[in-house]
Structure 1
């Protein structure tokens, strides 16, 4: 049976851009290595939209960001020198490791207007990879294996499931897929990983005889093996092996609170390189309590 239902909570990223925050949740911080899950939109952006809607340059450590769009376009720029638009049914996979900065801007929307809808997830890195060299990759086409069966169109975003393996390099066992389902269609929920979840992006589904509407993440029990679309639905399925406790401060993830304190200090002091192609502004460190640095002996 479903172990927990997590409803998205609306959060403002500024400039009129709201998201549905799902993870982390007070009673469920992670699902496998997935530590953050935001549902962006659906949102119509009018031509000429103000630049305040953009996500200005900001830093990350200790995680991989996974951006996947149902609709729209976002332009990614990072401190490694990559500039990469992402469009519908494509993936931007950015591994922060020891530290990276990037921006996400809505340039198509500013020019001609756009309809934005997508998911950004964070995957925490295992301890042995938390300080790896940062990297970026873009994936589309054959990197995202597809299948169609019984009213279900599937696309594997990352990891291995359904007998397929996606193109992005991952650092721990996981799976992440997108299912578009016609009303009445049923789909398998991948097994083989100790922690699994579904997120209903649109429509409604049924699991174990209960109905669940859009905007809800279902943390699954070991016996949950299939879902059925009550109405046309778009569903994300995800899971993986737990990697141990992680702490979050702002855009930083680490197994060490001291490392979070160091990252905050580095950003505040201007020690993290901004993207060369987008270095004229940045998001300042937020106010409020900060992680504590280790006491001096």
Structure 2
């Protein structure tokens, strides 16, 4: 953890050299959801590989750049692309950018992802507000000695997603006439998709959507004092009794289509954060 603090400081200092803006809201874009970046009045665009200690973004649809600018009057930092454990990174490495945007001044974190729909009521392209999660990833991003200057040894996950922000998202979705689903996200390691039996198990656990990210970022956000709001876009239907082969290109196309509606909602929500 002491080494982690030094790495955070080095990364934040490198970003400040490129742009003096203090972001108040940080956004992580998931697969196919980078369209929100187009709505940002960008002051600085920094490739991840030019920021000390940032991993390389290798997942399809993740452009691997940090955008600093303004969205609807809000000062934002957009992490245009995230990292996953299936890319070969530790969970601490996957969540390092969350700590950096916190060091830059962010107070609120908005997470987005593409996910498989377990709830039979969900349809392709639906947006879901994540009100809770189930963590089935191996390990934890907080494993190891704790640096109390970064956060508590045992962060409480009683309220992983801020209730006030959940209410705000519901309010804005209603005002926009948008159908916003709500439910539980379950994180699995990937990169393979799940079997019929696994989908049945995950549904039995009470999950509404399944994906391979987000939960470690939420845990680290809680550790370092960021309020968190998160959304999924349903990109494939995971009904074990009607399961069909998955086309990754179609998943990305669905993420982009559903992501456009979610982007419009976030352009209403973020200025109020």
TM bucket normalised to smaller: under 0.3
> Which structure shows the bigger proportion of residues in helix conformation?
2
Q: TM-score, normalised by structure 2?
A: 0.24
Q: TM-score, normalised by structure 1?
A: 0.23
Greater length-normalized contact order (CA 8 Å, ≥ 6 residues apart)? 2
Of the two, which has the highest radius of gyration?
1
> Which structure shows the bigger proportion of residues in strand conformation?
1
